[in-house]
Structure formats: C-alpha cells, structure tokens
Structure 1
Amino acid sequence: MKLKSFFSVPRNLAALIVWAALIAATLGGFIWRTVEFTTQSMETGWYLHKVQHTVFGLLGISAVFAAEFVFRFRAPLPVEICVSAFAFSANVLGNVYDLYGMIDVWDWILHACSGVVFSAAGIGLALALLRNQPAGTRKTISVLLFALLITLALGYLWELFEFTVDTVSPTSSAQEWADGVIAELPDGTFIVSNKRGTALVDTMMDMFLMLCGSLVLLIPMTALFFKKPAAMSAFDFRPLPPFRKKKKDDKTDDLADEQTDETE
C-alpha cells in the first residue's frame, strides 16, 4: 500500500497522530531533563535513569505498530492507542516526568489499567488463533479464558522481571522491599515494618490489581459476547497480506512501461 493511500484511511491517520503526539511528549521530557542535567540541577545517575526510560518509552510506544508490520496484522485502533499510551504512561510519565514520585498510587493505577489493556489485546489474539473455529459457546468461553490467563501470565512475568532486577542489583527496589526496612542488625538480619515483607505485599497487590482490571473488562464482555457473539469482531486482529517479493517478470513489465511512457 502506498503511503498516500495508507494515510487516506482515517483510522491510520488517527493512529499516526496519536503516535506522533506521544513521541513528541517523550522527546520533550528528554530535552527538559537534559537541560536540567547540563545546568547541573540533576545528578549523573539520575539523568541516566531518565535517558534509559526515554529509550524504553520510544520503543514501547512504537512496539504495537512494529509488531503489526512484522507479523502482518492490524489491531483495532483503540487497542493500538491504549497499548502505546500505557507504555508512555509507565516509562515516560512515570519515570521521565516523575509521576511515580508525585502520585503515590501511580503504580497501582498502571497495574489496574494494564489488566484492561492486556485483556483487550488477549481477546484479539485469541480470535486470531481461533479464526477458523466455528462461532458458539465453546469459542466464546475459550476467547475469554485465554484473555484472562494471558493477562495473569504477563503480570507474573513482570513481577519475575522485577524480582530479577532486585536480585541482580542490590541497590534496586523495584518491588519496594526497601520501603519496609527500619534497620539492619550486625548479623545481617533486618528489622522491618511488615512481617510479610513490603516486597511480597507489593507483588501481590500488583497482581491483584491486574486481575481486577482484567475483570472490569471481561465481566461485561462475557455478558455482551453471549448475548451478541458478533460483538467480538470489535477486538479482532485483522490479518494483512504477506509481503510479496517482486518477481523478475514484474520488474521487466515495469521497465517496459517506463520506456513506453518515455516514448509517448
């Protein structure tokens, strides 16, 4: 598809505008933090943290569109926007613009929203995998269960990632274990504010909020899909034709057409 015809489609133009706005806001935050660093208002380690999450933000915002291009599918516009906005909120708003520090519940908000976003994407992925299956109760249940389970699996993988980061880097507190440390004793043990450990509480709360976010979407969708199965198509990942390699005969025809045009 030529660029002109691609951007003549309103949904494609809307996706481009949202993507460009998020990228611009990300680069704006990076420039702001760079100015702070160059004027010696920010320490080097903290600035590198901002740079790291700027890169993560740029990659996350573009990830869904890159996946569509590589794997040849088109997700619904709301899913594209929500996935990109979530990556922007987590990396850029949270770390570059410091909303994690400014809003105490920002992490909780993101985990709850991630349940909604990943469940919506999970429905679309399930529909793509079950595309050739006949419509009916079994397919509807399978789609909903797949969306729920893949959301919980992603939540588990994220918490595993945070645990790994905290294990590899002793100064890291991604799971907020440091918030509960009152004192360290000479024998290497700690006095903590919570007998279960703040890291465990943080992990379980994150996964619980993700489950709640998922159910906020899936419960009403369950009622809707059983009443009107065709409504599932709103989440469908539409397959795109694979890349077609230009054959030698096609190139010969194109050359002949160009020569004809020159003659005329």
Structure 2
Amino acid sequence: MTARFDGTTDYVSTDDLTMAVNAAITLERPLLVKGEPGTGKTELARQVASALGLEMIEWSIKSTTRAQQGLYEYDAVSRLRDSQLGDERVNDVANYIRKGKLWQAFEADHKTVLLIDEIDKADIEFPNDLLQELDRMEFHVYETGETVRARQRPIVIITSNNEKELPDAFLRRCFFHYIKFPDHETLRQIVEVHHPGIKRALLDTALTQFYELRDQPGLKKKPSTSEVLDWLKLLLAEDLDAADLKRDGASALPRLHGALLKNEQDVHLFERLAFMARRGR
C-alpha cells in the first residue's frame, strides 16, 4: 500500500500541497517545491518524514556543491599518502570512497525521504548532472566497477527559492508545486500551531500590520512566514497587547520591526512614509 501524507499537527499543509506530496509519492517522481524563502519548504520534507515514520537524509546545496558529491567522492590524495607510508589499505580502493547523500539513500534497507535543499544555489549544470541518477535510481562507481541501485526508492523532495531557472529536462522529471504565501486565515492557523492560545486581539492587530507591511509598494524584501512567527514570539515575550501595537503617526514602522525588515532600504522607506504623513497633516 502506498504511503500517504495527510499533514501533521506541527505543520499546516494546504489541500493543494498535500495533493502534490501524494502525487509525487504515487508517481515515484521527485517533488520540486518552489516558493519564497521562509515559506516552509525545507520543513515540509521533515514533516513528510515524520508523518510517514521515515528517516530523512538531507543534502544542503551550496554554490560550490557538485553533483558528484551527492553520489560519492574518491580520495586519491589519501590513497597516495597511504601508499607512500606502506599502508595495506591502499590495496582496496573502496577504502577511499566517501559515500554521498544519494548513495546513503539508495543503500538504505528501508524507504527514506531524501531532501535536496535549495538546488538553485548550485551551478546551472548541477540539476542536469543528476538527471539519470534520479530517474533510474542507480549510478556507476568507476573506481570499483560496481553499480549502486536503490534498494527502496526514496521519496525525493527538492526545494528551490527560484533564484535561477532550472533546465527543462530536469523539470520534466519532477512533480512541481509552488507554495504560495499563505492567506490571512492560513497564516492564522500556522501561528496557532507555533503560538497556541495567542490572544485574538493581538493576533488580529499584528497580522493586519504584517500584511500592510508586506503589501507596501517598493519593499525590497517582503517578510516571510518564519519572520512573522519570530516577530510574534518577541511580542509575546515582551507581554505586549493589541493597544501596544498602535502606531502614533511618528513612525510607520511596527514595534520590534527588526524581526520583519532585514535591510536598511526598507527601513528608510517606512521612515520616509512617516515623514511625508507628518508633513501632509
């Protein structure tokens, strides 16, 4: 029977996101998840693993990451050093093969969730270099002559912040889902998971200010879901209520705005708005 994801008590999954996860599982295709940073893409993989009772193997991609590292790496330098020292380990090349995250997922005796996180950080050729391995669920180790095949096909979840376009050939092999920024009601549910019992008046006022801030034209970086959760955590820690969030007109910035605005251009934007509002009185 095919495993099915129905969300968890710690993660609010919309109907279309739940459908996308289960479609990818059924098709045995990688699930490519795009969306703004901070919308829960990485956390989705963790929650899928938790809900299905599976081990998660996480491969975090950097700008310097090569696709080969996900398969294996051959440490020729160590082998040369050991040969100079007369170490008997040099007789077996397998001693110098370091298994990558895909190899770990492929050799697992049980099904796993393999997260390839922020694939768009890598070189443009990176996704193409993994096409065959993710499609066939196998790869060849040239140094030992062996072929590594997946014992249990892992559930592959790939995240992207949309920083660069991914190749068409790669996209064809994935089931795609874009996580839209949550609407007011969905965000309220997410907040309730992280801050249960938060006062309704405080939450209403805070979310109103948050969406007004996000919708401000000219904003360089819109605050994300994770940032509004941090902001609310600070408001609760300071024991503030709805009345404390009211702005007096001297500033267009919300209280503790450093949790929401992360660059000086956006702070200056709201300072200018407040200045113009005062001049217009």
TM, length-normalised to structure 1: 0.24
Could you say which structure has the higher helix fraction? 1
